């Protein structure tokens, strides 16, 4: 892990213990090519471990250079296969203008949401959904990350590769590019495999998008 991030490893442990088991705390090292998890506590919430890849939302933050406009993003929606809906926040760690890491906190609010809904139902009230950035999907491997991104484009049912037209594949590649998926090492190969195309074809699609 980059030496500039070492102080944050202790912070991850501290926050995890201070906030309690309903809070997962994650440190991403963005100085490595993969941008993988360098430290994590209370990982039962997302099921990830050290070395797991960036989420789709983290990639979107990087691709959109959100870190240049604000120091953090708080209170957006995450999703875990293990725990369901989460409340997530990300702080950008910079050295000057360089983004070197991200400190993320994912809160498993399920039991508190149930309690709140029960209380609101007692008084005949309900909560209106607030604004959202979309859902952050947490994955533990590159294939899962690519599949989650493709599913985000094609819908939960998905589409078999042999039923996709070239225009549809180009649209999927464009959306994956905007989501930042191609910042992940090996993403072109994995996208090609999952779309039933060659790597050369995916590179050609990406080239078309730059024209």
1 to 4, 104, 159, 164: CA distances (angstroms) = 8, 17, 39, 41
List, for residues 69-107, the tens digit of each pLDDT value. 999 999 998 876 666 678 899 999 999 999 999 999 999
* pLDDT of the residue at 211: 65
* pLDDT of the residue at 5: 94
User: Does pTM top 0.75 for this prediction?
Assistant: no
Pairwise CA distance, residues 34 & 140, whole Å: 13
* pLDDT of the residue at 137: 62
Q: Hey, where are the domains in the chain? A: 3-110, 142-209
> In this structure, how many other beta carbons lie within 10 angstroms of the beta carbon of residue 168?
14
Q: Are 184 and 34 in contact (CB under 8 A)?
A: yes
**Does the pLDDT of residue 157 top 50, yes or no?**
no
How confident is residue 158, by pLDDT bands cut at 50, 70 and 90?
low
Average pLDDT, the chain: 82
Q: Which two tokens stand for residue 44?
A: 């039962």
Q: At the topology level of CATH, where does 3-110 sit?
A: Beta-Lactamase (3.30.450)
% of residues, the chain, pLDDT over 90: 35
* pLDDT of the residue at 135: 60
* pLDDT of the residue at 185: 78
List, for residues 136-146, the tens digit of each pLDDT value. 666 667 787 77
Per DSSP, the residues of the chain read: --GGGHHHHHHHHHHHHHH-TTEEEEEEETTSSS--EEEEESTTTT---TTPPPPHHHHHHHHTTGGGT-SEEEEEEEEETTTEEEEEEEEEEEETTEEEEEEEEEE--HHHHHHHHHHHHHTT--PPP-----EEEP-SSHHHHHHHHHHHHH-TT---GGG--HHHHHHHHHHHHHTTGGGSTTHHHHHHHHHT--HHHHHHHHHHHH-
Q: Are 181 and 59 in contact (CB under 8 A)?
A: yes
Among residues 75, 35, 32, 40, the alpha carbon closest in space to that of 55 is found at 35
């Amino acid at each position: 892990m980059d030496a500039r991030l070492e102080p944050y490893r202790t912070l991850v442990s501290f926050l995890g213990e201070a906030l309690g088991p309903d809070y997962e705390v994650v440190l991403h090292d963005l100085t490595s090519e993969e941008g993988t998890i360098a430290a994590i506590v209370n990982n039962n919430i997302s099921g990830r471990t050290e070395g797991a890849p960036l989420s789709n939302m983290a990639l979107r933050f990087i691709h959109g250079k959100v870190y240049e406009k604000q120091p953090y993003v708080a209170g957006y929606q995450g999703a875990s296969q293990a725990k369901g809906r989460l409340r997530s926040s990300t702080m950008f760690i910079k050295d000057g203008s360089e983004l070197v890491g991200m400190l993320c906190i994912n809160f498993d609010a399920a039991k508190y949401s149930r309690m709140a809904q029960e209380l609101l139902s007692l008084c005949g009230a309900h909560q209106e959904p607030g604004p959202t950035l979309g859902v952050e999907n947490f994955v533990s491997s590159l294939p899962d990350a690519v599949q989650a991104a493709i599913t985000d484009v094609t819908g939960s049912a998905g589409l078999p590769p042999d039923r996709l037209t070239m225009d549809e594949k180009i649209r999927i590649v464009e959306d994956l590019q905007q989501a930042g998926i191609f910042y992940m090492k090996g993403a072109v190969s994995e996208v090609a495999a999952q779309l039933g195309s060659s790597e050369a074809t995916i590179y050609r699609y990406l080239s078309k998008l730059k024209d």
